[in-house]
Amino acid sequence: MKWIDFSLLVSSRTCEKKLVGLVVCAILGVVLWFPPGWTFAGSPDFSNHSPTEFSARLIWKTGGRTAKAQLFVKKDRYRIEPAGGIRTELGYAGVLIIRLDEQKTWYMLSQRRMIVSVPLTLDYLLPFSVQLEGETSRTVIGESVVGDQPALLYEVEVKDQFGQLERFFEWVDPQREILLKLLSQERDWVVEYHHVVLSSQPDYYFEAPLGYRIIEAQEAPVRRG
């Protein structure tokens, strides 16, 4: 569960000052969350095995919960449209924009014509590359399928920055050499990309819409109890 501390909002408008003390809370099972120890520290790898522009149906499962979203990727930024949106104390955020170039996550609140910008964390970093960060070994298991898409299944071993080993099952589109599904063998975590379409994505998908205000906020520690 993620909280945004509005006591650090940077604003000169009276209406924005009234937001001091409010928090934005994403509902569990809707917000995309990677557990501690996630190996993909830093920006996703846009290499020869990682398409720089595409759209897909995103499905992720963690902690026994499943969430779905539409995903649009363009080089160093991507747009997540969660099914049902993300409920916050300021209304529903129907769109999240991950700006790797600015190291920011944007929550887009259409009813308020507002974007709340917070520092980027590991919570919204997605794996796009077939080659995993810290990969130490890769073994072909055989042919498989993801949804209705034929795939080649691998077992991959990864060493994180602390020297800990983690094993993944990885499904790859053998024709287009793109990642379709990644599953951790150690954790209850899996991410899938269905109906992947390699195509140019409009720049405006990843920019603030005309007339929207961008408010800078600082994330606070997770509240408990």
- 188-224 pLDDT, tens digit per residue, is 899 999 999 999 999 999 999 999 999 998 753 333 3
Domain ranges of the chain: 3-122+199-219, 135-193
| pLDDT band for position 48 (cuts 50, 70, 90) | low
Whether this model's pTM surpasses 0.85: no
| pLDDT at residue number 12 | 35
Torsion sign, CA atoms 46, 50, 53, 58: negative
Q: What are 62-83's pLDDT values in tens digits?
A: 888 888 999 999 999 999 999 9
pLDDT over 80 at 21, yes or no:
no
Does residue 164 register a pLDDT over 70? Answer: yes
Q: HSE on the CB side for 81, CA within 13 Å?
A: 10
pLDDT grade for 49, boundaries at 50, 70 and 90: low
Percentage above 90 pLDDT, the chain: 56
Q: What is the mean pLDDT of the chain?
A: 79
What pLDDT does 90 receive?
Answer: 77
pLDDT at residue 220, rounded to an integer: 36
pLDDT tens across 87-109, in order? 877 778 999 999 999 999 999 99
